[in-house]
A and B are shown apart, each in its own frame.
Chain A
Amino acid sequence: MRRVLPYPLIALALLLSWLVLAGSASLGTILLGGMVTLGGSWALASLAPPRARLRRLAVLPGLLRDVLVEVVRSNNAVARIILDPAGQGRRQSGFVQIPLDMRSPQGLAALACILTATPGTVWVEYDSSEGIMLLHVLDLVDASEWVRIVKEKWERRLMEIFE
């Protein structure tokens, strides 16, 4: 089983996206999608990515909900900053160094996606030897507040899922 389908979850996701893309679930689509999925799985296996373990998926729905709320909230905030007629004088933007405890590459990738999907914060770089991530914040008031937000709001739950 492991030899034919090295990454069953990823293979399932590939097949599902093929079916959604084709917009049908007929036998022909499933067969063709299955062949594409097999090819994709073997190509991925030859790259030998680090294996992810998914634990505690129960926190995932709450996390996705919070991400959605945060995306809407920060879109609104950044749009206001751009349109602010008073000009850009008072606002300060800047870098924040955030020490992360998470080491799982998949968890870090998910954190990068979350932070980039919420406008106003951009993941700039990550130092894997010390685990320090550099974040750029558009409207920076208090750097320690951002360390707390990233660690408690996102990192803790991502670690529950990925580590």
Chain B
Amino acid sequence: MIHAAELPVWAAVIVAVLLLLGAGLALIGSFGLLRLRSFYERVHAPTLGTTLGIGCVLVASMLFFSLLQRRLVLHEILIAVLMVMTTPVTLMLLARAALYRDRVERNGSVPPPPGVRWEGGEER
């Protein structure tokens, strides 16, 4: 067990860069919620934070605590696995709720319900 101040410089630099990269991606994702135009576009933005963003933070955390405690700290891998497996559920629920609303209200050019052939098209 060593203290954070005694962390070797090379490790401190890698950890700091990874943390900033991860936080930056999460910030860009949140910024995307403001900038993107339609609901279906905004659904894409937070995935920056939940994929590479969280990945960078978790690798930084594994490196930092493994060096600090002088043993392999791996439980961050579980966070990554659970993240990858649960994010699609939330995104799918949100997107399908929006799609259902748009189909009922006949908003814009969303594709028709399953069973009806549809030859592609673009929003707006």
Interface residues of A (CB under 8 A from B): 17, 20-21, 23, 71-72, 75, 78-79, 82-83, 88, 92-97, 112-113, 115-125, 127, 129-130, 132, 134, 136, 138, 140, 143
Contacts and interface: CB of A to CB of B under 8 A. Distances in A.
Nearest to A133: B114
A146 to B, nearest CB: 10
A119 B51 contact: yes
Contacts of A72: 52
A62 B72 CA distance: 26
A51 to B, nearest CB: 19
Contact of B115 (A21, A117, A130, A143): A130
Given A82-B36, A95-B111, A124-B95, A116 B88 contact: yes
Interface of B: 25, 28-29, 31-32, 35-38, 40-41, 43-45, 47-48, 51-53, 55, 73-75, 77-78, 81, 84-85, 87-88, 91-92, 95-96, 99, 110-111, 114-115, 118, 120-124
Contacts of B32: 78, 82
In the complex, the 7 A-B pairs of residues with the closest C-beta atoms, listed nearest first:
A127-B114, A116-B88, A82-B32, A75-B52, A94-B122, A119-B47, A124-B95
Nearest to A132: B114
Contact of B78 (A21, A92, A124): A21
A125 B115 CA distance: 12
B47 A130 contact: no
18 contacts: A23-B75, A75-B52, A78-B44, A79-B28, A82-B32, A93-B38, A93-B41, A94-B120, A95-B40, A95-B121, A116-B87, A122-B43, A123-B91, A125-B96, A129-B114, A129-B115, A134-B114, A140-B122
